[in-house]
């Protein structure tokens, strides 16, 4: 079953993490994965992303032609025993040329919003 809304556990985890890995598709159909700052937007149920000079990045340019996107937010709760945690989101991105400072991303300029179409997670119930 595909979910497009976050659970309370996923929201708490997203709010505890500073960095994610965003995947876009370049014009030749090849994937590109890079780290990105993000925040969960409780008002819209989206993941909002920013970055220094975001409008000049390939990921931002990729999303201009293909808005399909994925973001992975993950860490290790423990290495012994091995306990990975993750929230994985697929969705559609909307780009904004300015307003990053008002999006709560702590940056000026461009930003993007990921509207989830599929959400999954693992290891969030392990403390």
Diameter of the chain by CA atoms?
A: 44
Q: Report yes or no: 26 and 62 within 8 Å, Cβ to Cβ.
A: yes
Give residue 109's pLDDT. Answer: 85
What percent of the chain has pLDDT above 90? 79
* 38 part of a folded domain: yes
Give residue 106's pLDDT. Answer: 65
Q: For the chain, how many structural domains are there in total?
A: 1
Domain that holds residue 60: 8-122
pTM: 0.92
Strand partners, 116: 91
SS3 call for 35: strand
Mean pLDDT, residues 54-61 taken together: 92
* 29 part of a folded domain: yes
* 21 part of a folded domain: yes
Mean pLDDT, residues 25-48 taken together: 95
Q: What is the CATH number of the domain that holds 74?
A: 2.30.110.10
Q: Return d(Cα 96, Cα 107) in angstroms, integer.
A: 13
Q: Is the pLDDT of residue 32 over 80?
A: yes
* 50 part of a folded domain: yes
* 1 part of a folded domain: no
The predicted-structure confidence for 59-103, as pLDDT tens digits, reads as follows 999 999 999 999 999 999 999 999 999 999 999 999 998 877 766
Q: Is the pLDDT of residue 2 over 80?
A: no
């Amino acid at each position: 079953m595909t979910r497009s809304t976050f659970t309370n556990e996923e929201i708490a985890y997203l709010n505890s993490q500073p960095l994610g890995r965003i995947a876009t598709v370049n014009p030749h159909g090849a994937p590109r994965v890079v780290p990105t700052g993000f925040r969960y937007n409780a008002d819209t149920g989206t993941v909002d992303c920013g970055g220094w000079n975001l409008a000049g990045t390939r990921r931002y340019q990729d999303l201009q032609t293909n808005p399909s996107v994925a973001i992975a937010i993950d860490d290790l709760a423990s290495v012994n025993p091995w306990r990975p945690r993750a929230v994985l989101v697929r969705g559609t991105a909307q780009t904004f040329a300015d307003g990053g400072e008002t999006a709560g991303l702590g940056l000026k300029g461009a930003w993007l919003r990921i509207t989830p179409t599929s959400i999954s997670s693992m290891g969030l119930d392990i403390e």
